[in-house]
Amino acid sequence: MNNYSFVNIEFLYLLVIPIAILIWYIINNKRNTTKILFSNTSSLEIKKTLKQRLRHLPYLIKIIACILLIIALARPQSSINWEESTTEGIDIVLAMDISGSMLAQDLKPDRLEASKNVALDFIRKRRNDRVGLVIFSGESFTQCPLTTDHQVLINLFKDVKSGMVDDGTAIGMGLATAVNRLKDSEAISKVIILLTDGVNNSGMVPPLTAAEIAQKFGIRVYTIGVGTEGFAPYPFQTPFGIQYQDVEVKIDEKTLQDIATLTDGKYFRATNNSSLKEIYKDIDKLEKSKIEVTEFHKRTEEFLIFALSALVLILLNFILKITYLKQIP
């Protein structure tokens, strides 16, 4: 959108002069009009010629030309402003534990669903980033590769449930699979958010070995230990259906801390739903996409059109006065 401004705006005060002269001319012309009274005008047919109708035109042209010249002296300018933004997104892989212990109900409705809900909100906020999903239990696999189509990722995430693979907690395998998804990435920042509630007891890759590989590829790992302090209600299948029993919460916090430290990340502990939400908010603040905004300004001088218009009117006035509207002394 064009914006208009004046460099010498003080010249616009001079517009009072031609406007005042025009008003004076109109008033003075009415005073000098000669009136002739007739008793009966039915026999008189007075028709004004075109020349008579245009007798005030030269004066009006001079007033308009004067106004245009004053505007030209004020130097009107038009300006256009626009912005160009460049966004460099981050590549993020969520590595989530889906082992049977994630069904514990110290988080509501359980650890897995609470983790999924918070992660889904996190994904919706990362509009400029590619996000992928790795899930692990006794084994690990990629549920969704890195994508900017977050709706597809969200739909695949909603389908995640415990029991999709053999039970266990293969933290090292989950981390290694996530690293494999990011190792060829050219993003300015590569991040893994690893969430688990237990101790590594499955898989062929030790967690710290996977962390060393992540470090070599410049991948930062944020680790989250999910579970309350002390005991938590775990579901058990019995002949009478599923029953819950309080079991001691065991999270290998030292390993999770070592993974985060080695990869220049950070370790978090989520003991309830609200703390889990705060953790994802903190990670969201720590990992920001790079957005560069360049502003452009273009100014164009507009006085020439006013000056040329005034010149044309002055020339027109001169031609009329020596031709059609020429006054005979």
pLDDT for 293-309, tens place per residue?
667 778 888 889 999 99
pLDDT at 84 over 60: yes
* pTM, to two decimals: 0.65
pLDDT for 90-119, tens place per residue?
999 999 999 999 999 999 999 999 999 999
pLDDT for 183-227, tens place per residue?
999 888 999 999 999 899 999 999 999 999 999 999 999 999 999
| Mean pLDDT, residues 155-177 taken together | 94
All structural domains of the chain, each given as residue ranges with its CATH number in brackets, are 2-32+48-81+298-322 (no CATH), 90-288 (3.40.50.410)
* Coil/strand/helix, residue 319: helix
Q: How far apart are CA 179 and CA 95, in angstroms?
A: 10
Residues 6 or more apart whose Cβ sits within 8 Å of residue 35: none
CB atoms near residue 60 (< 10 Å) = 14
Residues 6 or more apart whose Cβ sits within 8 Å of residue 225: 196, 197, 251, 253, 256, 267, 268, 269, 270
Tokens standing for residue 172: 């090292």
User: How confident is the model at residue 321, as a pLDDT?
Assistant: 82
pLDDT at 63 over 80: yes
The alpha helices in the chain, defined as continuous H runs, are 16-31, 50-53, 57-73, 111-125, 150-158, 171-182, 207-216, 253-262, 273-286, 303-322
pLDDT at 289 over 80: no
DSSP state of 217: T
User: Cis omega before residue 109 (within 30°)?
Assistant: yes
User: How confident is the model at residue 252, as a pLDDT?
Assistant: 93
Task: Give the pLDDT band of residue 37 (cuts 50, 70, 90).
Answer: low
User: How confident is the model at residue 33, as a pLDDT?
Assistant: 56
Of 48-57, 72-81, 294-303, 306-315, which gets the smallest average pLDDT? Answer: 48-57
Tokens standing for residue 34: 């000669």
First to last CA, the chain: 54
